[in-house]
Structure 1
Amino acid sequence: MTSSPNGEHGGEQGSADRVRLDVRAALRMPRKDLLIRFAFGVGVSAVAAIVSAAVGPFQGGALLAFPAILLASLTLVAKEEGLRRARDDARGAALGTLGLLAFAVVAAVLLPHHSAWLALGAATAAWVVVSLLAYGLLRAVGHGGDERGPKR
């Protein structure tokens, strides 16, 4: 699968739906982009620490759930690969968040009564299953197809 700078995908229509991991892409990422993402993360963590000290750990902890790196990532993706690709990444983050919610529920239920390995393993499985099912469901009802470019 190829991707043009504006986020449109060439090749077959079905290939745009393929989920893939490219570890080498992180090594090719410009240092400036890494620094921007790091700065966003540090900034949100610092604000969470200040809020924790001022008002309490519950309120500060809630801020740590804020996806600091997502903001920086979406900004960079939109700038370099186009708004379509950034929207696709935002949609993926939302689906991953559903999985993370499943992880939290399963972990909260199992940790008090089972070993950490079992509870966290089951919670991780729940995260994967819920995230992928949510992705499949959205694709089945036709959402997300706007990220594909015209057929070539």
Structure 2
Amino acid sequence: MSRSPGSSGSASRSGEGRGQRTEDTDRVRLEVRAAWGMPRKDLLVRFAFGTGVSLLAAVVSTVFGSFVGGVFLAFPAILLASLTLVAKEEGLRRARDDVRGAGLGTSGLVAFAVVGTVLLRHHSAWLALGTATAAWAVVSLAAYAVVRAAGRGGDERP
């Protein structure tokens, strides 16, 4: 997923102060073709971070048991690599936007885990996982709506 080039997570206004407005560049959209144009070095960095975190989880599982190791597997390994690259190529403001999005998505994953844990004990897997997925979507989108309504990081505006 990406935003329009040059967007900093807030509405772009090329003629700000002169009354001219351009389109809202805060919209999130999926650009599948963009993955093919990604530099190989960036892919390698992401792969290396993901591999490193997975190896760490394997070592922790071996030493401390599968429960503790499972917590490490839940760690978003690709996030560290992505944030490093985004901060380097697009600036800290965009990296902060990505961190905020990861946090909002994590709140949805917590909802998924809670709903799934409760429902899987007494209902079919299809019902439990379907409901948990719906909970993830509702919580994540609601969190996004709240952050957006609250000014979506007004502390970062120039």
Instruction: Report the TM-score range of the alignment, normalised by the length of the smaller protein.
Output: 0.7 to 0.9
Residues 7 and 83 of structure 1 are in contact (CA less than 8 Å); yes or no, is this contact kept in structure 2?
Answer: no
1:117 & 1:26 partners in 2: Cα distance? 32
Hey, what does 1:18 align to over in structure 2?
A: 27
Residues 53 and 77 of structure 2 are in contact (CA less than 8 Å); yes or no, is this contact kept in structure 1?
Answer: yes
Q: CA deviation at 1:8?
A: 7.4
1:18 & 1:147 partners in 2: Cα distance? 18
Hey, what does 1:69 align to over in structure 2?
A: 78
Which one has more relative contact order, counting CA pairs under 8 Å at least 6 apart? 1
Hey, what does 2:37 align to over in structure 1?
A: 28
1:81 to 1:8, Cα distance in 2 relative to 1, 3 A? farther
Residues 9 and 26 of structure 2 are in contact (CA less than 8 Å); yes or no, is this contact kept in structure 1?
Answer: no
Residues 49 and 78 of structure 2 are in contact (CA less than 8 Å); yes or no, is this contact kept in structure 1?
Answer: yes
Hey, what does 1:103 align to over in structure 2?
A: 112
Structure with the higher fraction of residues in helix conformation: 1
Is 2:122 the counterpart of 1:113? yes
Residues 77 and 85 of structure 1 are in contact (CA less than 8 Å); yes or no, is this contact kept in structure 2?
Answer: yes
Hey, what does 1:136 align to over in structure 2?
A: 145
What stretches of structure 2 of length at least 5 have no aligned partner? 14-20
- From 3, 6, 21, the counterpart of 2:5: 3
User: RMSD over aligned Cα, in angstroms?
Assistant: 2.4
Counterpart secondary structure, 1:17 = coil
After superposing the two structures, state which structure 1 stretch, 39-48 or 60-69, moved more.
60-69
Aligned residue pairs: how many?
Answer: 149
- From 49, 58, 71, the counterpart of 2:58: 49
Residues 1-23 of structure 1: CA distance to partner in whole angstroms, max 9, x if unpaired?
74228777635477133222222
Q: CA deviation at 1:36?
A: 0.9
